[in-house]
Structure 1
């Protein structure tokens, strides 16, 4: 199901909750840290920085290892490490407590554009402008498999693990393909033909849906059972650079080169409220652990946070912050099912 296109002329009344200023070049990523009091950013100025969420002030010194622009980063599932990918082709693993590098993975020959953790925190996946995807063993510090060459003369802009860690997907820049791979063997599982080059990917927590952001501004969802397209979410007018799914799986956030970020209702694929206007290209989106705050990165060298609660309340969709209640299967009269008293207990909590 497609959502209506909203033109550039639409002006949002929604203002950022907080600005984070200090980087000297583009902010390529912004993520929430455990505890709900800090965010971290990475930038083309070669640094990672930690910020106080309430004051908007930087905490401590920059995290640096040379001057190579940092293109991407991701927090480990346990919140104790962060991995970054840089223009020099290095994948760096950082200790969150000390801000020091644990290991530096070398193998990519061009910029590392995307990184992703496996759900158990044992592996890191990286995608590079050199046309390969690589897996790294966090404990041993070694490559998990030989590099996977997606196709010749192409660039890997997006990588993501499936929730069960049996597969991962890659998005390619020059040809409109999404490819899924067996995470243990590196063998190709499926090839999905998109409408345009694929700039970002996300996998729903139940593993049933793969979501892609495309250069043409569309967001497309795919069934991982049939490997067929399910829906198209239209609204952005330029490439979709980043997408993220809320912790409860009910909201999708996207950032685009059209200088906006958007929220989408995953129940019906419709956009929520007005676009979140940015001064320059939007580069990243990240939800807080409770889903109530959104962090975005921007090419104006700054990061921003946005009040998701307020946006949903204004749109009359506050229930999207709640987890979906379990759905009882409809049974025939001869089958056993929840009794009226059980249903009352469920509804009353």
Structure 2
């Protein structure tokens, strides 16, 4: 990006292993002129690149033997245009390289750190150059580079003097001295990043503030500043994470004016703090974008279409909703709750009404969660929907929130009375196990805007209301019927006995039925909108269709009414996904073989009792999507011309929208119509895992006058992203 215009990127190819650090400086005030770039990689090299205009090339390779350089930073020697490069690595030393005669030459080695150096950064302050370094020894060291003539004359008394490291630049015949300015000790764990507050120019017109920001694995971010009188560097502000299953911070940055700081946590979250206008030492958390930090496996809309819930391999379940700021028309989506923080990678979920869901993970248990009172109240405040419309039953009966017991996986409900109990602080009561490891971390808060990361970690869990045991291996897929009475689930399987689908009652939470048919893992389950059918697709390349019979005393009973086998199968690879048309007449399957097919008969929903085995056939031609199909979804709202809207997600991250309508008795290629193919900027970078349409027309969070115009599609992918698309159905 230059002058708010996107410019063509130039790939720099040469490193043999992963690149871990890069830095660059302009060698002229004209940005189109020479740009000097340094990059460090795990191939034990630092490469120097030069970009001139639209061309870039590697001009030098610095070898580090068997060592690794963790960070690099470029600047210019005081009072000159001579580039200086600092490299910090795994040998606890900082290497300074000076460019002379067009080549970078190793000039100085700065010892002092006692563990791997994680960060180095230059800063210009007046006529001097400062270097900040941080390491796994929990310390930050500040070094000063200045011309030798500026050093104090040597004295013959016994006063303490810091050791000088002196070097001379032949090109300018100038001697420079490097001294250790200060050592900052305040962190209690590895310091991963250190950054100066940025300046606006290098020519000294606006001097760089002498402030340093550091991030550490001790879960804190510290602002350091020298005392105005003594010049001693002191800790001015400390912010960070409190509690939660976290492991500290990887990186941090100042805003250009220094009024805000942002930090990147170990678990992928961003934290943002803003300086108070009155009390300059008070920093408050701010709303920031957030999301999964590993593959997102499943996403679902709530029945009313007001929020979405997603699960991922980062072992979390996250709830996103639209937020409309007061006095503003723009609606933005934010994470407003993290109902489940688990010990296993999450795989699937299904909504059971508005504020209840069931999730499956890499364990043999299904877990059911229900929204607490504090969430419903805050959801009302953030979205502007009255609590009366959100909660039909008495909200006073609900728990306030939830917490996770020590060494536990189940979210325990916290009621109002639980939070009032405060343990005594005398030594005798502290020695009891229950008081040393308190379980009540939850603190209810009244929110009018999306919560910051600290609150998401601690106070937005949903209580777990039920566990469902019965599967022999890790849960892989789950579905709930539209009347919220039956749950269907399946687990990973390599044998027929383990690939059976299990049906559960949502009233008694008992196992209703086992449906054995498939030989390998069932990859997705889908109830028809009229709840009369259950569709299953599998790794064994077949699908099976189950019809609901007359309900018994314990609940509905399903029997297999149609399926594919070796003779009738169309798909030749794993069937990853399936879905139903809103009228329950047809269903769709998508496979790794790049094929998308719509199946059905004249009208499944009015079929009389009898054998449907031979009547379910392809109703469409085989659609070649161009790559492995990993997700399919059909909108419950049709086009104005009465055509079904079909979304197809591919393994390469592309999402394509089609419309389809059966035009005759025989499948015809004219039935399919390609509408939209997402470009690279809108698509996922890796495989699309799930596609889910909002059940109603309109856009969540908007009071659309023409609500029938818009549809919304939620998608999730292996690229850690959840996306929401606005689709104009009149344009399809």
TM-score scaled to structure 2, two decimals? 0.33
For residues 592 and 541 of structure 2, what CA distance do their matches in structure 1 show?
9
- Structure 2 stretches of 5 or more lacking a match? 1-267, 269-287, 324-331, 374-460, 550-556, 604-614, 639-643, 672-732
For residues 668 and 372 of structure 2, what CA distance do their matches in structure 1 show?
46
Q: CA deviation at 1:143?
A: 3.3
For residues 108 and 195 of structure 1, what CA distance do their matches in structure 2 show?
29
Give the 3 Å change call, closer, same or farther, for CA 303–318 of structure 1 in structure 2: closer
For residues 483 and 669 of structure 2, what CA distance do their matches in structure 1 show?
30
SS of the counterpart of 2:619?
strand
Q: Does 1:209 align with 2:533?
A: yes
Question: Which residue does 1:275 correspond to in 2?
Answer: 622
Contact 1:279/1:300, CA 8 A, preserved across alignment = no
SS of the counterpart of 2:621?
strand
More displaced 10-residue stretch of structure 1: 233-242 or 69-78: 233-242
Q: Deviations over 1:296-317 (max 9, x none)?
A: 11111211111214x6578379
Give the 3 Å change call, closer, same or farther, for CA 312–146 of structure 1 in structure 2: same
Give the 3 Å change call, closer, same or farther, for CA 85–316 of structure 1 in structure 2: same
* Alignment counterpart, residue 304 of structure 2, candidates 78, 84, 89: 78
Q: Which portions of structure 1, spanning 4 or more consecutive aligned residues, are displaced by more than 4 angstroms?
A: 311-314, 316-319
Give the 3 Å change call, closer, same or farther, for CA 64–283 of structure 1 in structure 2: farther
Q: CA deviation at 1:76?
A: 1.6
Q: CA deviation at 1:151?
A: 2.4
Q: How many residues align?
A: 257
SS of the counterpart of 1:186?
coil
* Alignment counterpart, residue 200 of structure 1, candidates 512, 515, 524: 524
Q: CA deviation at 1:139?
A: 5.1
Q: CA deviation at 1:94?
A: 0.6
For residues 318 and 148 of structure 1, what CA distance do their matches in structure 2 show?
46
Question: Which residue does 1:134 correspond to in 2?
Answer: 367
Q: CA deviation at 1:66?
A: 4.4
Q: Deviations over 1:86-115 (max 9, x none)?
A: 002211111034311121122543222222
Give the 3 Å change call, closer, same or farther, for CA 257–81 of structure 1 in structure 2: same
Q: CA deviation at 1:63?
A: 6.7
For residues 469 and 580 of structure 2, what CA distance do their matches in structure 1 show?
28
Give the 3 Å change call, closer, same or farther, for CA 228–281 of structure 1 in structure 2: same
Q: Does 1:170 align with 2:489?
A: yes
Question: Which residue does 2:469 correspond to in 1?
Answer: 149
The structure that has the greater radius of gyration is 2
For residues 227 and 243 of structure 1, what CA distance do their matches in structure 2 show?
19
For residues 172 and 130 of structure 1, what CA distance do their matches in structure 2 show?
9
Question: Which residue does 2:52 correspond to in 1?
Answer: none
The equivalences for 1:17-166 within 5 A come to 64-97=290-323, 98-118=332-352, 120-138=353-371, 140=373, 142-152=462-472, 154-166=473-485
For residues 337 and 317 of structure 2, what CA distance do their matches in structure 1 show?
8
Q: CA deviation at 1:142?
A: 1.9
Contact 1:159/1:201, CA 8 A, preserved across alignment = yes
For residues 80 and 67 of structure 1, what CA distance do their matches in structure 2 show?
24
Contact 1:166/1:182, CA 8 A, preserved across alignment = yes
SS of the counterpart of 2:333?
coil
Contact 1:169/1:180, CA 8 A, preserved across alignment = yes
Give the 3 Å change call, closer, same or farther, for CA 144–110 of structure 1 in structure 2: closer
Question: Which residue does 1:245 correspond to in 2?
Answer: 580
Contact 1:216/1:237, CA 8 A, preserved across alignment = no
Which protein has greater RCO, CA pairs closer than 8 Å, 6+ apart?
Answer: 1
Give the 3 Å change call, closer, same or farther, for CA 209–100 of structure 1 in structure 2: same
SS of the counterpart of 1:133?
strand
Give the 3 Å change call, closer, same or farther, for CA 288–209 of structure 1 in structure 2: closer
Q: Deviations over 1:243-290 (max 9, x none)?
A: 111111112111112222211125342112222223332111111232
Q: CA deviation at 1:215?
A: 1.2
For residues 312 and 79 of structure 1, what CA distance do their matches in structure 2 show?
32
SS of the counterpart of 2:465?
coil
For residues 625 and 669 of structure 2, what CA distance do their matches in structure 1 show?
23
- Structure 1 stretches of 5 or more lacking a match? 1-45, 47-61, 320-349
Q: CA deviation at 1:148?
A: 1.9
For residues 79 and 63 of structure 1, what CA distance do their matches in structure 2 show?
21
Contact 1:74/1:82, CA 8 A, preserved across alignment = yes
Pairwise CA RMSD: 2.8
* Alignment counterpart, residue 514 of structure 2, candidates 191, 197, 205: 191
For residues 146 and 203 of structure 1, what CA distance do their matches in structure 2 show?
22
